[in-house]
Amino acid sequence: MKQTLDRSRRRHSGLVISKRRFVASVTVPLLLYEALGIFVLAWAFVLMFFDYSPGRLGGPILGLGGSNPFVGLGNFIEMFSGDSVQAGLFRASLRNTLIFAVAVLPLNLAITLPLAWLLESIGNRFKALYRTIYFLPVLTSSVGVALIWMSMYDPQAGWINAIIRAFGGTPVAWLSDPRAGFAGVSVAMWAVIIAYLWQDYGYNMVIFIAALQGVPQELREAALIDGANSWQAFTRITLPLIRPTMLFVCVMTMLSSFQVFDIIQVMTNGGPNNQTQVLMLDIYKSAFRYQNMGWAAAESFVLFLIVMGVTLFQMRVLRTDWEY
Amino acid sequence: MAVNTLSASVVQPRKSFGWGRFLGRFLIYFVLTLGLSFTLLPFVMMILSSFKTNVEALRVPPTFWPENFTLENYLKIFNDPQLPLLRFYGNSAFVAIFNVCSTLFTSSLIGYMFAKFEFPGKKILFGWFLTLMMIPTQITMIPSYLILAKLGLINSLWGLVIFSAVDAFGIFMMRQFCETLPTELLDAARIDGASEWQIYWRIVLPQLGAPLATLGILGFMGNWNAYLWPMIVLQKIEVRTLPVILTWFNSTHTGQPAVVMAATVLIVVPILIVFMFFQRWIVQGFTMTGFK
């Protein structure tokens, strides 16, 4: 009796030891990786208080100090109140990023929500086909999307100007005319917004379709029987019920449009006259073209704060306290 | 009687709206097809342009259907010694496959550990870990580049894979799935003498097939289409991945739109067809994780 008890206890402690060994063998590399992550983050944080360029020979620790001097909050003060070229460029890209994000979100919702609703209301035969095609641009590499739209926007041989000419209008140099504008925003900016929307709407559509499928049909039918028309049923029943999805879609769309880079870098590279220079592009150019990495780190921090702030704000506004 | 009047009042208006319903249906399909054409036409233009001669592709107004169907653009690309396409496909495939394999391994292993094991500091470790991983790339981009430069990994495909071996979304997702695995099953295997690694490999991993497939295809797509980070790390032409080489090709072939479109077709379309087959998993992954 005692013997078996001992044996089972020994076996039990053997299991515990092998479990511990397993946990240790996973957590120790993970901790090292996490330490590397913290190191990278700390480095990014420290960099923004320095005037740092990797080409200069700096101090002993990470090349900071010496010819890469500590400037304190200098980068931030310069950004928001300086008159240097790079400060002006930062403020222009901050403005352009806001214009881009503020234009993209409502346009995206205005396209994706009705289309998803219409698509959800038709029979199953065509639904899959429509959805597959609407989703194609999401799967396409953004560089490919940019090149396709560049050929569409071509001032001479592009299709968009061909259509304008066919209706008797004057063709526009979409990606290179700094003077042309619409609603106070340059045409180059509108051009990249349209290309970006084209690539992106399939994503929000599938999210909305999934959400609409989750709305219980009985609720909608009850409203219809009570005399609501389908528009009322949509705005009073369906829309409130997919509010958590709206929150998710708004946050994700805002996040990705604040960080837009690929399409704009390929299509305009910030031109004409920096009218499409957005923050990510400005950060990229400061850091890797002009090797001005302290400045770029400070800019990234500002972008990070904006993105965080917008996310928290949207979560507050669109939060729901109930479930169904 | 009451039931009868109720059902009559519900059914009747529908009957009288027969034409209205038909018109409604028609409008729905009209709007959907309009959107469909807007989505599809740029692809059609790209493919048609790639079969035109460069002279025709520059003509004003543009032709829709190529006058002389020609393969010269494709032949030009295949015979271009500066553009060994297979090599760039190889680079992209290496980066994407290596990253997918490493993230699937780490995500399932770490997710499993966070779901099924208790150890001191677990909550703090998990919380810290997720926070760290949520930091956007633009913050970590510069120090990561400096570290790669110190390690001499700029212009090396290895530089592109070492920082992306662990993926927060993957770990989070795998933890959710591992929590649904029955602990009794794992304990039974332990009693039978299986080691912890055997349990992970033989029992946990096979159960995670579907979520791993979803995560894998999403990761593959993200890596295959990635542009900013590969452009920063891969500065020499011969080590570049496809999106980076495509922009380079575009900048060296100005004034030859048909050739550029042919290159775009060659780089964009094959993988698009593959992704179409996996669309169900991709959509599932997007709606499940919200990860893009």
Hey, is the C-beta of B135 within 8 angstroms of any chain A C-beta? yes
| Per-residue confidence (pLDDT) for residue B4, from 0 to 100 | 45
| Per-residue confidence (pLDDT) for residue B2, from 0 to 100 | 42
Residue A198 lies in a domain: yes
In this complex, do A134 and B282 lie within 8 Å of one another by their Cβ atoms? no
Domain count within chain A: 1
pLDDT value at A143 more than 60: yes
Residue B272 lies in a domain: yes
| Per-residue confidence (pLDDT) for residue A4, from 0 to 100 | 54
- Residue B168 structure tokens: 């927060």
pLDDT value at B125 more than 90: no
Write the ipTM: 0.86
Mean pLDDT of B181-197: 89
pLDDT band for position B172 (cuts 50, 70, 90): confident
> What residues of chain B lie within 8 A of the CB of A287, using their CB?
141-142, 145
| Per-residue confidence (pLDDT) for residue B17, from 0 to 100 | 57
Tell me the torsion sign for CA atoms A138, A140, A142, A145: negative
Query: A224-271: per-residue pLDDT in tens?
Result: 888 888 788 888 888 888 888 888 888 889 989 999 999 999 999 998
A287: number of Cβ within 10 Å: 26
CA dist., res. A107 & res. A49, Å (int): 38
Residue A294 lies in a domain: yes
Hey, is the C-beta of B39 within 8 angstroms of any chain A C-beta? yes
Between residues B290 and A304, which one has the greater pLDDT? A304
Residue A167 lies in a domain: no
Residue A98 lies in a domain: yes
pLDDT value at B5 more than 80: no
Residue A176 lies in a domain: no
Hey, is the C-beta of B132 within 8 angstroms of any chain A C-beta? yes
Query: B266-278: per-residue pLDDT in tens?
Result: 988 888 888 888 8
Residue A1 lies in a domain: no
Residue B259 lies in a domain: yes
Residue B233 lies in a domain: yes
Nearest to A210 among B250, B260, B287 (CB): B287
Could you give the percent of chain B with pLDDT greater than 70? 92
pLDDT band for position A310 (cuts 50, 70, 90): confident
| Per-residue confidence (pLDDT) for residue B13, from 0 to 100 | 46
Q: Which domain holds residue B269?
A: 85-289
In this complex, do B125 and A34 lie within 8 Å of one another by their Cβ atoms? yes
> What residues of chain B lie within 8 A of the CB of A142, using their CB?
225, 227, 243
Mean pLDDT of A287-312: 92
How many contacts (CB atoms, under 8 Å) link A and B? Answer: 218
| Per-residue confidence (pLDDT) for residue B94, from 0 to 100 | 94
Between residues A129 and A192, which one has the greater pLDDT? A192
Query: B24-34: per-residue pLDDT in tens?
Result: 888 888 899 99
pLDDT value at A314 more than 70: yes
Q: Which domain holds residue A143?
A: 89-149+186-317
CATH number for the domain harbouring residue A235: 1.10.3720.10
CA dist., res. A289 & res. A110, Å (int): 38
CATH number for the domain harbouring residue B253: 1.10.3720.10
Query: B204-239: per-residue pLDDT in tens?
Result: 999 998 889 888 988 899 899 999 999 999 988 889
Nearest to B62 among A130, A157, A307 (CB): A157
| Per-residue confidence (pLDDT) for residue A321, from 0 to 100 | 64
pLDDT band for position B15 (cuts 50, 70, 90): very low
B100: number of Cβ within 10 Å: 24
CA dist., res. A108 & res. A201, Å (int): 6
Close Cβ partners of B104 (under 8 Å, ≥ 6 residues apart): B170, B212, B215, B216, B219
| Per-residue confidence (pLDDT) for residue B278, from 0 to 100 | 85
CA dist., res. B9 & res. A248, Å (int): 40
| Per-residue confidence (pLDDT) for residue A42, from 0 to 100 | 92
Nearest to A144 among B61, B119, B246 (CB): B246
| Per-residue confidence (pLDDT) for residue A9, from 0 to 100 | 56
> What residues of chain B lie within 8 A of the CB of A308, using their CB?
none
pLDDT band for position B279 (cuts 50, 70, 90): confident
Mean pLDDT of B44-68: 87
> What residues of chain B lie within 8 A of the CB of A157, using their CB?
57-60, 62, 257
In this complex, do A26 and B110 lie within 8 Å of one another by their Cβ atoms? yes
**B:43-102 residues touching chain A, CB 8 A cutoff:** 43, 45-46, 49, 57-62
Nearest to A288 among B135, B232, B260 (CB): B232
Mean pLDDT of A80-105: 94
SS in 3 state form for chain A?
Answer: CHHHHHHHHHHHHHHHHHHHHHHHHHHHHHHHHHHHHHHHHHHHHHHCCECCCCCCCECCCCCCEECECECCCHHHHHHHHCCCHHHHHHHHHHHHHHHHHHHHHHHHHHHHHHHHHHHHHCCHHHHHHHHHHHHHHHHCCHHHHHHHHHHHHCCCCCHHHHHHHHCCCCCCCCCCCCCCEECCEEHHHHHHHHHHHHHHHHHHHHHHHHHHHHCCHHHHHHHHHCCCCHHHHHHHHHHHHCHHHHHHHHHHHHHHHHCCCHHHHHHCCCCCCCCCCCHHHHHHHHHHHCCCHHHHHHHHHHHHHHHHHHHHHHHHHCCCCCCC
Least confident window among A1-5, A245-249, B115-119: A1-5
Q: Which residue has the tokens 């409130």?
A: A240
CA dist., res. B202 & res. B205, Å (int): 6
Hey, is the C-beta of B256 within 8 angstroms of any chain A C-beta? no
Residue B215 lies in a domain: yes
**What integer best gives the mean pLDDT of chain B?**
85
In this complex, do B287 and A54 lie within 8 Å of one another by their Cβ atoms? no
Hey, is the C-beta of B218 within 8 angstroms of any chain A C-beta? no
In this complex, do B166 and A33 lie within 8 Å of one another by their Cβ atoms? yes
Residue B187 lies in a domain: yes
Residue A255 lies in a domain: yes
Close Cβ partners of A6 (under 8 Å, ≥ 6 residues apart): none
pLDDT value at A276 more than 90: yes
Residue B165 lies in a domain: yes
Hey, is the C-beta of A148 within 8 angstroms of any chain B C-beta? yes
Residue A161 lies in a domain: no
Listed residue (A100, A107, A102) closest to A198, CA to CA:
A107
Could you give the percent of chain A with pLDDT greater than 90? 42
**Cβ pair B104, B212 in contact under 8 A:** yes
